[in-house]
Amino acid sequence: MRHIAIIGSGPAGYYTAEAAQKQFGDDVRVDVIDRLPVPYGLIRFGVAPDHQSIKAVSRRYEGVALSENVRFVGNVMVGEDISIDELLGMYDAVILATGAPNDRDLGIPGSDLPGVFGSAAFVGWYNGHPDFADLEPPLEGKHVVIVGNGNVALDVARILSKTRVELGGSDIVSHALDMLETANTEEVTILGRRGPHQIAMTPKELGELGHLERACPYVDRADLPDEGEDMLLEPGLRKSVTCLREFAAIPESYRATKPISIEFDFFAAPVAIEGNGKVERIIVERTELDSELRSRGTGETYAIDCSMVVACIGYQTPSIEGVPYEHGRGRFANVEGRILPGLYCVGWARRGPSGTIGTNRPDGYMIIEAVADDIADGAGKQGRAALDELLEQRGIQIVKFSDWKKIEEAEIARAREGAPREKFVRIEDMIKAAN
């Protein structure tokens, strides 16, 4: 019998568990351990609440979770409740699928002012992550600045702009929905330090900005390269740029009918955030591209008055004591997923935060092939029996998948009309529902 512990129950974790089942059949026992009492990581806390069709992939993970040889072990913090060394003594392979839930630092003066948030915090707030339930972002101002030209920047701009009705079928948590409803936002500026041809936004997500009830995107034609140059782009990016061209062609008369403007400010890098005890303005430097298409400052700066800044500039994996870490890239130091004997990483914890949810599937299968090569038939370790004994000694109550199903049932029962669920945002409420 082989015993595998997977740390993290998001897409990387469950695709890896699925791969282990396929690879080893009945000759494996997999424990999927999560620090929260609820599964699915990024699917629950990262994917936008109005993108329910993307969240539906959790049904596939549920199929894996419900099988005999895979077990969900929620409410256990690896690195605090149990160490990596202890896990390595119990399991033939320990696979870190912890994702990249921490924000990268903007690293400019003033980025610690109240009113500046990373996207993990801001997205976590409207998605009901227990760590960010009390964020209380200042939404009374008219102008919000978003930094970054990726899909998360689009998610944040869209959620800030949608009406209560537009968010009707979403599972945005009520505390966020209520606050967003009273927001005074009139302008959302999306800063990109490079140009339209360097965006990391995908066409579907960009296109959604063109169909909002009370908001309209704005792109300055002057920022767009000659149309002929679009032919050199790969097809996905070309489509995205076509979206930007459509936004640039929206007539002023139409834009004037929308109370919120979502403005793309390209070649614009933040250099400082200023304000008296809170965000009042962001100082931006005009940039240009060097020969390697990196941004470089031109020395020309300007200020944008704003009351909130959300930095959507990518994420990093939290480090765990005793696990080699690559600081520059914000992920575990690894060679094709191998960290140390018996210790592996997969998904964003291995590659850094890029790619779609589906990218984690081949990743999971690849890591299980490496595990199969390394552990043969297993070394006679005790696996979950040893884990349960140790956690019981330490008084840690684990949350099983059947407990999660009770939490889920309670969340569905308390949903707003039209919404799929009302998430619990406090760990104690999750545990109460499980019991």
Positions touching ligand NAP (CB under 6 A) are 106, 147-153, 155, 192-194, 198, 200, 202, 205, 269, 295, 312-314, 353-356
Beta bridge partners, 311, equal 118, 147
CB of 243 to ligand NAP, least distance (A): 14
How far is 325 from 66, CA to CA, in rounded Å?
Answer: 33
User: 45 vs 91, which CB is nearer to ligand NAP?
Assistant: 45
What would the two tokens of residue 55 be?
A: 């969240």
User: 21 vs 149, which CB is nearer to ligand NAP?
Assistant: 149
Structural contact between residues 60 and 360, judged by C-beta atoms closer than 8 angstroms: no
How far is 99 from 406, CA to CA, in rounded Å?
Answer: 25
How far is 259 from 292, CA to CA, in rounded Å?
Answer: 39
CB of 199 to ligand NAP, least distance (A): 6
User: 355 vs 362, which CB is nearer to ligand NAP?
Assistant: 355
CB of 58 to ligand NAP, least distance (A): 15
Cβ-count burial 415-435 (b if 16+ within 10 Å, e if not): ebeebbbbbbbebebbbebbe
User: 155 vs 411, which CB is nearer to ligand NAP?
Assistant: 155
User: 114 vs 355, which CB is nearer to ligand NAP?
Assistant: 355
User: 324 vs 355, which CB is nearer to ligand NAP?
Assistant: 355
CB of 312 to ligand NAP, least distance (A): 5
Per the listing, tokens 């360097």 go with: 198
Cβ-count burial 255-283 (b if 16+ within 10 Å, e if not): eeebebbbbbbbbbbbeebebeeebbbbb
Q: Shortest Cβ contact with ligand NAP: which residue?
A: 150
Beta bridge partners, 268, equal 286
CB of 142 to ligand NAP, least distance (A): 23
CB of 128 to ligand NAP, least distance (A): 17
Structural contact between residues 181 and 416, judged by C-beta atoms closer than 8 angstroms: no
